[in-house]
Amino acid sequence: MSHSVPQHIAIILDGNGRWAAAKGMPRTYGHTMGAKNVETICRAAGEAGVKYLTVYAFSTENWGRPSAEVSAIMDLLRNYLKTCRKIAKKNNMRVKVIGDKSGLDEDIQHSIEDIEGFSRDFDGLTFQIALNYGGRDEIVRAVNRIISDREKGLLDSKAEITEEVISSYLDTAGIPDPDLLIRTSGEERLSNFLLWQNAYTEFYFTSVHWPDFNENELKAALDEYSLRNRRYGKTEAS
């Protein structure tokens, strides 16, 4: 099977703070420009033929940042979700949020429900935003729901727990695993992102900070991806 264009790209958008600091600006300015760039890359990815795009916007660990930065990010998110609703309509884009939504402020939870419901049947790009997301937290929540569904009889208590069952209880149920993971700003780690789903994903790291990761940078990542030989444990690409 040809893998010239990845079906699903996941992005750890990193470096907003460093980008702003390099300009003598506050970190929050970096987050503002980083949020704008998400719009650009959504459009560019869709145009390149990508079907699923997942971005890591706020991790379960990011609550540990100074409270002023956390509230600035949450305010930005409130605004962003409004813009995103318009873009969803314009670009026929389906929007989904992964992560523990119950840990977010109620008004944000409502905006998320609204945009998810509103865009449910849009069949262009599927855009997943990871908010209050942690890969370990996602697996723990999945296991607890499996146990509770078994107790309630919603899941056959004799049936074996398979990879498919676990996948279907993750926040990403029904979404194919990422083919390509991009991390900007020089760090080369997963930081608790999509631990289960990235089992066979190609990784691409760049020193470019997220607000500068433009359409050409995306193209460079796609070009490199097209040269990778994906073997899935076999002897040749399948």
* Residues annotated as catalytic (active site), given as ranges: 14, 62
Subset of 15-44 contacting ligand IPE (CB under 6 A): 15-18
d(CA 136, CA 144): 12
Task: Choose the stretch contacting ligand IPE; rule: CB under 6 A; options: 13-21, 76-84, 99-107, 200-208.
Answer: 13-21
Per rule CB under 5 A, is residue 193 in the interface with Mg ion?
A: no
Q: How far is the CB of 190 from Mg ion (least distance, A)?
A: 13
Q: How far is the CB of 158 from ligand IPE (least distance, A)?
A: 40
d(CA 44, CA 217): 11
- Name the burial class of residue 152, with classes exposed (0-12), middle (13-18) and buried (19+) by CB atoms within 10 angstroms of its CB: exposed
| Per-residue binding letters, 91-120, with ligand IPE (x by CB under 6 A) | ------------------------------
Q: 57: closest CA among 14, 111, 120, 105?
A: 14
Closest to ligand IPE by CB, 18 or 150: 18
Phi, psi for residue 188 in degrees, rounded to 5 = -120, 70
d(CA 25, CA 71): 18
Q: Give me the residue whose beta carbon is nearest to Mg ion.
A: 14
Q: How far is the CB of 12 from ligand IPE (least distance, A)?
A: 5
Per rule CB under 6 A, is residue 187 in the interface with ligand IPE?
A: yes
Closest to ligand IPE by CB, 125 or 129: 129
Select the binding partner of residue 112 from ligand IPE, Mg ion, none (C-beta < 5 to 8 A, by kind). none
HSE toward the beta carbon, residue 124, CA cutoff 13 A: 17
Q: 201: closest CA among 173, 218, 225?
A: 225
Closest to ligand IPE by CB, 168 or 192: 192
Per rule CB under 6 A, is residue 58 in the interface with ligand IPE?
A: yes
Per rule CB under 6 A, is residue 198 in the interface with ligand IPE?
A: no
Q: How far is the CB of 196 from Mg ion (least distance, A)?
A: 22
Subset of 13-42 contacting Mg ion (CB under 5 A): 14
Per rule CB under 6 A, is residue 131 in the interface with ligand IPE?
A: no
Closest to Mg ion by CB, 126 or 206: 206
d(CA 159, CA 136): 24
Positions in the binding site for ligand IPE (CB under 6 A): 12-18, 56-59, 62, 73, 185, 187, 189, 191
Positions in the binding site for Mg ion (CB under 5 A): 14
